[in-house]
Amino acid sequence: MGAGGIAAAFQSCQASANGADASLPADKVTLYCACIVDAWRKNTHDAPDPTSAPSPTKDQVQQCGVAVRAGLLSPYAFAYPRITQDVLNSWQACLDRDGQKDHGLYCGCFVDGTLKIPGGRLPTPPDQKRCELADRYYVSTKARPTLRQFQGINP
C-alpha cells in the first residue's frame, strides 16, 4: 500500500470513525485510525495479489477499538519500512510544502520515493520528476499510471 493509499484510508477513517464507533473518545480517533490502516496494510501484505487485498474485517476493526481503549499499541503493527504515522506525517509535509504540485498523485509518489532509500528524506531527483510527470498524467487521464508506465517515464 503506497503513501497515497495510506493517507486516503486514514482520512476516510477519520471522517467515519464516530459513525463506526460512537463510543470512541475523540482523543483516540488518530490512534484508532492508525490501527485500522495498519490492519489494511497487513491485509495487503498478506494477500497473494495486493490489488485484491480486503479492507479491514469487522473483527479487525473491533480489535482496534479494544486496543485503543486499553492504551495498547496496534495489534496489526508490522515491521514496515516506515510506521503509518510517519508516512502520514511525510505526506502532509509534502502537501504543506509542495501542495501546488499535488493533484492527487504527487505527494503519495514523493513519499513512496523516500521509502526506496534507507533513511531517505527525499526521493532521487529523477524520481521527483517522475512523480511530477505521473501527477500530470493523472490530471489529464484521471487514471493512475501502472507500475510499468511509471517506470517508463523518462524524466
- What confidence tens digit (pLDDT) does each residue in 7-44 have? 888 888 888 887 777 788 888 888 899 999 999 988 88
The pLDDT value recorded for residue 120 is 66
The pLDDT value recorded for residue 53 is 81
DSSP letter (8 states) at residue 153: -
Which phi and psi (to 5°) does residue 84 adopt?
Answer: -50, -45
Alpha-carbon span 90 to 84, nearest angstrom: 10
Report whether pLDDT(79) > 80.
no
Return the number of other C-beta atoms located less than 10 Å from residue 123's C-beta.
Answer: 20
Alpha-carbon span 21 to 88, nearest angstrom: 22
The pLDDT value recorded for residue 39 is 92
- pTM, two decimals, is 0.61
Report whether pLDDT(63) > 90.
yes
The pLDDT value recorded for residue 57 is 92
Helices marked H in 29-124: 29-46, 58-69, 84-98, 106-115
Set of cell numbers at residue 120: 531517505
Alpha-carbon span 33 to 48, nearest angstrom: 25
